[in-house]
Chain A
Amino acid sequence: MGSRASSLLREEDIEEIKKETGFSHSQITRLYSRFHSLDKGENGALSREDFQRIPELAINPLGDRIINAFFPEGEDQVNFRGFMRTLAHFRPVEDNEKNKDPTAEPLNSRNNKLLFAFRLYDLDRDDKISRDELLQVLRMMVGVNISDEQLGSIADRTIQEADTNGDMSISFSEFIKVLEKVDVEQKMSIRFLH
């Protein structure tokens, strides 16, 4: 229920989220109703089950990891603030950002978008994508017709291309460097409807 949902979201909350994430008022209310419709237990927070009920995520190869990205370390509940914070990464980058806080980087900056993607690889949060982690993600993204050796050599090549300091893993700065020519802002943006 649209009206019921927005009544549970107070104006001050909306203002705070607006400041933190940069979404507009209508976008926030819209996403709140989506949050609410996902929240089957109606307790103001989403669990992993709630996410897994979305069928498209179930057949997305990276579905589990995407869901995981919404939950902060060690927690299995995400409230609306956290939900919006994660979604803010996907806001399109605008050229003119009004009331931009010069000290804090906006959540949807290129850097943060890349960090989001990086974190999908790097599950143990050691700021390095090891060969194993890379292989895991590769295997998830690739069908069953690729043998281990092929995948292994692809992973080796990937690391070889990116690795500049020779530690056989990809650090975040190396990750950024490798993708410098890619239009990350466009690839990791969703046009949120008003």
Chain B
Amino acid sequence: MGFLSSVKPVCIVLISFAVLALLSFGANAEDSPKPTTTKPPAKPTEHGPIYTAPPQPLPEPEKSYLPLFTLNYPRVQIPFEITLWVLLASFAKIGFHVYHKITIWVPETCLLISIGLIVGAIMHSVHEQPPAVLTSSVFFLYMLPPIVLDSAYFMPTQPFFENVGTVLWFSIVGTLWNSIGVGICLYGVCQIPALGVQDINLQENLLFASIISAVDPVAVLAVFEDVNINEQLYIVAFGESLFNDAVTVVLYNLFNHVAELPVVDAADVFLGVLRFFLVGLGGMLFGLVFGFVAAFTTRFTRKVREIEPLFIFMYSYLAYLLAELLSISSIMAIVTCALTMKYYVEENVSQRSCTTIRHVIKMLGTVSETLIFFFLGVVTITTDHEWNWGYILFTILFAQIWRGLGIVVLTQIINPFRTIPFNFKDQFGLSYGGLRGAITFALAYTLPNTIIRKKLFITATIAIIIFTVFIQGISIRPIIELMNVRKTNWKLGTINVEIHTRLMEHITAGVEDLCGQWSHHSLKDKFMRFNNRFIRKILIRDNRPESSIVALYKKLELQNAMEVLDTISGDISAAPSLISLHEEKASNKSSFKPKRTFLASDLTAMHEILSKNMYKIRERTMSYTNKHTLPNDSRAREILVRRHTSIRRSLRARSFQGSESARSQKYFSLPLGQSLDTGYATESIRLNADGDPALELHNRSVRPKPRPRSKQPRFSTTRARLDPLQELHSTVNMEDEVRAEESSHRPSRQSSSSSNSRSRAPLQRHSSLGTPSVGEDDPEGDEQQLESPPPAWTPEPPDRGSGGPRNPLLRRAQWKPQDK
């Protein structure tokens, strides 16, 4: 009921806009004859002869009134129609989220195509033609770059570079395998006279096969909500969707060129292969160069914050266009440009620019993709197709087979090199979940007209897209769930088992991360060292951002944290439940509590609660699963805020002393009596790619593990600048100091010189913070020192002698005089 009532207004809106769109097309159809004025269709030429025959009496007195309403459609036609289309597609997207469950079961591309189909049906019934906007140049120059930039920019760089081999292996070799395999098979099928497609030669088959092998498995990542998250799977899916676009376009151009040749000999093939590699690597090189140049530029944009995002877009677009100019792989260029640029740029630009960049990229990419799918829906209905049962069915069949085979074979080859091999479910998911994306359609639609069977190809492409998107897209979720269920059915363990196994998984994941097993350590370390020594020196600006901005975002972030805290403490209201817990504990000890009987329904409810709400391991990459939304990591925020809370409560508890300390034990990660020392480390550690501007302040600190030192200066900066938020931040400051003081008092702890000096140093710091102006300059000076690469750090070891070697606060205090 509720569903219907909420859908109705949306439907009305959609239909009204469809009608509006139709009107625009109606206007389009008769553009020129529209009169520019509403004057009665008096013959304008009448005025001409007047000059030659003045005394001629006019039949009627002509007086031109000032037109009150004029309609000048041709003037605004193009932008108007584009805007209407975009708006219509966006309304469709709003409409999807009306009924929440739809988005779970149906991939968004399905819905977009459906809306396109509906609009197409409407248009067809009115005998309208869709606007011929999707030409080759429009697609390749305007619509493709945003899509690719979107995928590239939101690629999780850290996991990506750690798995670059696997990703490239799957995407490049996989796409090649698919296209060549499907092409050859189709060529074989074409030889069958019964199908009547004998005129399609090998080149054209290969061309067609390369078009349909551009697979985009990202859409089904959201389905993979398994306990054993294989992070690698996500990265492979992401990388695949990104790089096989590049490979496809290169192959497309290659085969396009080849298809025009009357005769193909071995030299051509060899040259083709050579060109393939040249094009790909050339694109990458281009992208790298542009990425570095862009990063370098942003070093100097401190005074022109408003146009900082512009540089990003312009440089990536320029890379794309130049690559197109030189006929090398423009997609690879823009991808590598984005990947290189992102790391350095996000350090140089202000927070707002960072947010703007992300939002705009996401917006452009989404709009572009939406438009293409929408257009697909419309075109499906309105163009006349050439349907050939045999060819199309065989296409779909071969595409599926080759993709599945490809995944299996590739996995077998690469599994020995990986720490965690892909299991069957992963492989199935990857192969079955390979939906065809917008690029497939656009490439098919923009095939040159020299290809005789162009219509057939378009029809076949549309067929395979619709098949994969609708049938595979909708059915993959139930299948995966079936597989999950089958696996866990016979292991329907007790609640104990569920909880403890999850605990063990978390532990193992944590220790794995601790050991840093993922990367080829030496290579990555070497690169990071090189990076820190040379590249960062050149590309990253030395100065810190202005204090007001930092303060503002710190404020926003803390506000956010407070909000989350409110919800936490609201649901789990601290005082009463703590008291009840306390009492229950007491009563437990005193009287024997009668055993609660749990019904079977309770048990299943518990299982459900646990399986839905227990944190899954390593959700870091999972926050990227939905291609159509900005990544979010509310879960990480929850955990971090909770730790923050527990620090604070431990602090308050300690300050109150006594038996009440037991009460606030509730939220602790560690019980009282142990220091968490997490103060600044917690604050600084945030995840990347959070849409929330406030948290991005700390994004920069997260990524490079070998650069942890810079995290501390960041925190000290923000601590110094929190003058407007005295109350909140003084607590944070206080915890360090009080805890440090406590630590020196606590007898059980090893009283080393470090803990004593630690207590001294924060007080030193705090006093410096007391005078705001001094506090501001001082960390700034620190930043300058600390931002410079490791060579500046090397003088440190000699300083170790003076107590508290590992105490960064003390270290920083020591740096102070050197700056001034």
* Chain A residues with a Cβ closer than 8 Å to the other chain, count: 82
Q: Is the CB of A37 within 8 A of B502?
A: no
Task: Please tell me if the beta carbons of B503 and A141 are within 8 angstroms of each other in the complex.
Answer: yes
Q: What is the CA–CA distance of A81 and B501 in the complex, to the nearest angstrom?
A: 28
How far, in whole Å, are A33 and B524 apart by their CA atoms in the complex? 13
The interface bits of chain A over 155-182 (1 if a CB of B lies within 8 angstroms of the residue's CB, else 0) are: 0111011100000100000010011011
- In the complex, besides A47-B806, A52-B681, 19 extra interface pairs with C-beta distance below 8 angstroms are A37-B516, A40-B709, A41-B800, A42-B797, A43-B800, A55-B703, A55-B705, A58-B639, A59-B685, A64-B676, A116-B507, A117-B504, A120-B507, A124-B671, A132-B665, A144-B571, A153-B606, A178-B494, A188-B504
> In chain B between 625 and 646, which residues have their CB closer than 8 angstroms to a CB of chain A?
633, 635-636, 638-640, 642-643
Given A143-B615, A145-B613, check contact A87 B708 (CB 8 Å). no
Q: Which residue of A lies closest to B513 (CB)?
A: A56
Which applies to chain B's interface (DSSP): helix, strand, loop or mixed?
Answer: helix
Name A140's contact: one of B512, B513, B610, B669 (CB within 8 Å): B669
Select the residue from A34, A55, A188 with max chain B CB neighbours within 10 A: A55
Q: Closest residue to B564 on the A side, CB-wise?
A: A144
Pairs of residues from A and B, 10 with the lowest C-beta to C-beta distance, nearest first: A41-B806, A64-B669, A56-B513, A53-B708, A52-B681, A58-B685, A59-B636, A66-B510, A60-B510, A178-B496
Which B residues between 203 and 218 are near A, CB-CB below 8 angstroms? none
Residue A9 interfacial (CB < 8 Å):
no
* Residues 591-622 of B contacting A (Cβ, < 8 Å): 593, 595-596, 598, 602-603, 606, 609-610, 613-615, 617-620
User: Quick one: closest A residue to B158, CB to CB?
Assistant: A55
Query: Are A132 and B581 in contact, with the CB atoms below 8 A?
Result: yes
Instruction: Note all chain A residues with C-beta closer than 8 A to B677.
Output: 47-49, 52
Please tell me if A82 contacts chain B, counting CB pairs below 8 Å. no
Contact residues in A for B749 (Cβ distance below 8 Å)? 74, 76
A148 on the interface (CB 8 Å rule)?
yes
Contacts of A74 in B (CB 8 A): 748-750
Task: Report yes or no: A53 in contact with B517, Cβ–Cβ below 8 A.
Answer: no
The answer to whether B497 touches A181 (Cβ under 8 A) is yes
List of B residues within 8 angstroms of A34 by Cβ: 515-516, 521
Q: Mark A112-138, 1 if CB is under 8 A from B, else 0.
A: 000011001101100000011001111
Query: Which residues of B375-434 have CB atoms within 8 Å of chain A's CB atoms?
Result: 419-420
Closest A residue by C-beta to B707: A53
B702 at interface by CB-CB < 8 Å: yes
Interface size of B as a range: 35 or more
Q: Which residues of B contact A52 (CB under 8 A)?
A: 677-678, 681-682, 685
A189 proximal to B (CB < 8 A)? yes
In the bound complex, what is the Cα–Cα distance between A76 and B497 (angstroms)?
32
Interface string of A42-76 (1 = CB under 8 A from B): 11000111111111111111111110100000111
Q: What mask results when residues 697 to 725 of chain B are scored 1 for a CB within 8 Å of chain A, else 0?
A: 00000110110110100000000000000
CB distance from A171 to the nearest CB of B (A): 13
CB contact under 8 A between A143 and B635, given known A2-B522, A59-B687, A184-B504: yes
- By the criterion CB–CB under 8 Å, are B495 and A157 in contact? yes
- Asked whether B682 lies within 8 Å of A58 as measured between CB atoms, the reply is yes
Alpha-carbon separation in the docked complex, A42 to B794 (Å) = 11
Within the assembled complex, what's the spacing in Å between the Cα atoms of A123 and B665?
Answer: 12
Would you list 23 pairs from A and B whose C-beta atoms are within 8 A, ordered by A residue?
A: A43-B805, A49-B808, A51-B514, A52-B677, A52-B678, A52-B685, A57-B514, A59-B685, A60-B513, A61-B639, A62-B503, A62-B510, A68-B670, A74-B748, A76-B749, A141-B506, A144-B567, A148-B577, A153-B596, A160-B595, A161-B494, A182-B497, A188-B504
CB contacts (< 8 Å) of B640 on chain A: these are 58-59
A residues in contact with B501, CB < 8 Å:
179, 182, 187
A30 contacts across to B, CB distance below 8 A: 521
Task: Give the shortest distance, in Å, between B774 (CB) and chain A (any CB).
Answer: 26
Within 8 Å of chain A (Cβ to Cβ): is B511?
Answer: yes
**Chain B residues closer than 8 Å to A117, beta-carbon distance:** 500, 503-504, 507
Closest approach, in angstroms, between the C-beta of B416 and any C-beta of chain A? 12
B506 touches A60 (CB 8 A): yes
Q: In the bound complex, how far is the Cα of B669 from the Cα of A66, in angstroms?
A: 10
Given contacts A64-B643, A178-B500, contact A190 B515 (CB under 8 A): yes
Interface check A85, CB cutoff 8 A: no
